[in-house]
Every structure is written in structure tokens, then in C-alpha cells.
């Protein structure tokens, strides 16, 4: 079980920083403008949060019965996902070479 938790945490760290790591939409689609707008990065962050949540749900389903979650769980995990995205945000917008 601990390896599944570690895998989800590593996946969440990578998914949270992916929008800030490149200029392509979802790492695949090239945009017309040379720089990706912050709105697109935010959309990518939300979609990545949902994908990591689905993967975590499927892993939990294989290990044990899935626990019902209320809105507080999703609020806390969304804030944790934003904290995991901090290194990518700092590198992209605040780091001055």
C-alpha cells in the first residue's frame, strides 16, 4: 500500500509542475503564440488535478473499498496540488536568470 501512495505523490508532483515546464498545451499540442498564456496553464493544472484524482481513486479501489469523500477532502487536495505546483511556478514566473 505504501508504494501506491508514493506513486500517487510522485505522479501528483510531476503533474502539478507539467504546465510550467513547457510551452505546449498538455505537453503535446503546439499553440499559435510563442508563449503559453497563464489561463492555459491554469486549465492544464485543473485537468491534471482531475487525472491524478482518477488514478488515485482507481488505485484505492484495487487496494480496499473506496471511502466516501465530502467537499473538504477535495478542497484540501486541491490546495496540496497547488503547493506541489509551487516549484514550477517559481521557476517559470519568479526566477530571474
Query: pLDDT tens for residues 42-96?
Result: 999 999 999 999 999 999 898 888 888 999 999 999 999 999 999 999 998 888 6
Q: Which residue would you say has higher pLDDT here, 27 or 81?
A: 81
Query: What pLDDT score was predicted for residue 24?
Result: 78
Q: Among 83, 97, 21, 19, which residue's Cα sits nearest to residue 51?
A: 19
DSSP string, 73-97: HHHHHHHHHHHHTHHHHIIIII---
Query: What pLDDT score was predicted for residue 18?
Result: 92
Question: Residue 90 in contact with residue 21, Cβ under 8 Å?
Answer: no
Residue 28 confidence class, pLDDT cut points 50, 70, 90: confident
Task: Find the length of the chain.
Answer: 97
Residue 1 confidence class, pLDDT cut points 50, 70, 90: low
pLDDT at position 30 over 80: no
pLDDT at position 9 over 90: yes
Amino acid at each position: 500500500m505504501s508504494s501506491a501512495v508514493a506513486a500517487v505523490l510522485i505522479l501528483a508532483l510531476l503533474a502539478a509542475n507539467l504546465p510550467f515546464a513547457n510551452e505546449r498545451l498538455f505537453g503535446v499540442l503546439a499553440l499559435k503564440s510563442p508563449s503559453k498564456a497563464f489561463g492555459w496553464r491554469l486549465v492544464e493544472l485543473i485537468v491534471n488535478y482531475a487525472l491524478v484524482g482518477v488514478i488515485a481513486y482507481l488505485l484505492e479501489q484495487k487496494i480496499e473499498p473506496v471511502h466516501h469523500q465530502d467537499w473538504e477532502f477535495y478542497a484540501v487536495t486541491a490546495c496540496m496540488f497547488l503547493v506541489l505546483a509551487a516549484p514550477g511556478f517559481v521557476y517559470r514566473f519568479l526566477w530571474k536568470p
